[in-house]
Amino acid sequence: MGELLDAFQLGVRAMFAYQAVFFALLAIGLNLHFGYTGLLNFGQIAFAMVGGYGIAISVAQWDLPFWVGVVVGLGAAVILALLLGLPTLRLRADYLAIVTIASAEALRLLFRSVGSSEITGSTSGLFDYNSSFFSLCPWSVSGRFDILGTRWRGSELWVITIGWSIVLLACLLVWALMRSPWGRVLRAVREDEDAARALGKNVYAFKMQSLVLGGVFGALGGMIYAVGTGSQNPDQYQNANTFLAYGALILGGAARVLGPVIGAMLLWFIIAFSDSALAALVSGDNSFFGLFEWGDLLSTTDIAYIRFIIIGLGLMLLMIFRPQGILGDRREVMLDAR
């Protein structure tokens, strides 16, 4: 029982950690793409990667100031969105899906190739790029703080303070945009592209704007992740993460302003809780109703993969039985290919 309580506490802590911010921002971007516009972007992690590496490469490799790195990352995300959108947004939805998933994988392979090690550091990664970010912190970065029974380092608190502020601003922006005529056109594009076109709207331009804006949110997420981890490695951006973000979005509710945020927090609670509960289960002498020992079935390294299995199955079941998630409206998520 004590182990379960500990696992629960770790789960609650993970709801607020920078990983949750990362996925909340990824999912807010996907919400704009998938929830509001009906675009199938399966390469959201690539936007995060150019965002995170924008900072890391600018600061660690080119000795530029931190804020220039942020601008570089955002600029790279805009360019990536334009490159992805140009050939595909006129075609059916699954073409964008194929191209985005392929480019995310291609970019990761490119960044980890030995040939690009002079710029990206290849698989050994990049470090030492976030000191000027932490120098802005008003409290001691190395201090330890106890908040409601959870322990945080000063640096972590600074990252998540900035992170959740960005999430809040992003949510306000999405809320305001979706009340505006622009947001109503996006929804019209999602519901019936031809009707929107018949009313004189340039559907292609609206889709492209949505892709760019959502990609920028993804890049901001990547930046929070980059300053949170303090090191950059291409393999941190496996494209399974895109699907984790989709899991968060659909769990919380697509086409709702707070859906992706609540989804990301819940997702990290589930991940952290199941990780530590499974770890406790595997390390002790626990058996499955006397049939077999959990420790024989799973090793401690397997636990990290279980989260992807849970998310994969969860994504399937949610999409089949409750596509609107917790907050959503079923009528708004009955999309079809376009």
Partner 1 sequence: MTHAPERVRREDPRRTPSPSSGRAGTPGHRSSAGRRTLLRLLLVTFFGLAIAALTPGVASAVGEQVRGTLTTGATGPIAGVTITVETADGQEVGEGETDERGRFSVPVPGPGEYVVTLDTDSLPENVTVGSAGDTRTVTVEPNGREPVNFGLSDGQRGSGSDRILAVQLFVDGLRFGLLIAISAVGLSLIFGTTGLTNFAHGELVTIGAIVAFYLNVDADIPLLAAAVIAVVIGGLVGALNELALWRPLRRRGTGLVAALVVSIGLSLAVRYVIQTVYGGRSNPYLDYQSQRARDYGTFALTDRDLASIVISLVVLLAVALMLQRSRIGKAMRAVADNRDLAASSGIDVNRVILVVWVMGGALAALGGVLLGLSDQVQWDMGFRLLLLMFAGVTLGGLGTAYGALVGSVIVGVFVQMSTLVIRDDMKYVGGLLLLILILVVRPQGILGSRARIG
Q: Which residues bind partner 1 (CB under 8 A)?
A: 38, 40, 42, 86-88, 90-95, 97-99, 101-103, 105-106, 109-110, 112-115, 193-194, 197, 240, 243, 246-247, 250, 292, 296-298, 302, 305-306, 308-309, 311-317, 319-321, 323, 334-338
Burial class (CB within 10 angstroms; exposed 0-12, middle 13-18, buried 19+) of 187: middle
For partner 1, give the closer residue by CB, 174 or 250: 250
For partner 1, give the closer residue by CB, 115 or 200: 115
Residue 125 φ/ψ region, left for φ over 0, alpha for ψ in the -120 to 50 degree band, beta for the rest: left
For partner 1, give the closer residue by CB, 176 or 309: 309
> Minimum CB separation from partner 1 for residue 226, in Å?
23
For partner 1, give the closer residue by CB, 53 or 133: 53
> Minimum CB separation from partner 1 for residue 204, in Å?
11
- Short-list 30, 292, 257, 16, CA closest to 160: 16
Other beta carbons within 10 Å of 264: 30
- Asked if residue 222 lies in contact with residue 48, where contact means CB atoms within 8 angstroms, the answer is yes
> Minimum CB separation from partner 1 for residue 312, in Å?
3
For partner 1, give the closer residue by CB, 6 or 192: 192
For partner 1, give the closer residue by CB, 81 or 250: 250
> Minimum CB separation from partner 1 for residue 91, in Å?
5
> Rounded to whole angstroms, how far apart are CA atoms 230 and 178?
35
For partner 1, give the closer residue by CB, 13 or 307: 307
For partner 1, give the closer residue by CB, 69 or 121: 121
> Minimum CB separation from partner 1 for residue 310, in Å?
8
Contacts of 173 (CB under 8 A, 6+ apart): none
Which residue stretches of the chain are H helix?
A: 2-16, 18-30, 44-56, 66-88, 93-112, 117-120, 131-135, 154-179, 181-191, 193-198, 203-229, 240-252, 259-283, 294-297, 303-321
- Asked if residue 39 lies in contact with residue 61, where contact means CB atoms within 8 angstroms, the answer is no
Task: Write the DSSP assignment of 202-271 as a string of letters.
Answer: -HHHHHHHHHHHHHHHHHHHHHHHHHHHSEE-GGGG-THHHHHHHHHHHHH-TTSSSHHHHHHHHHHHHH
> Rounded to whole angstroms, how far apart are CA atoms 294 and 296?
5
Vertex 69 angle, CA 66 and 73, to 5°: 145
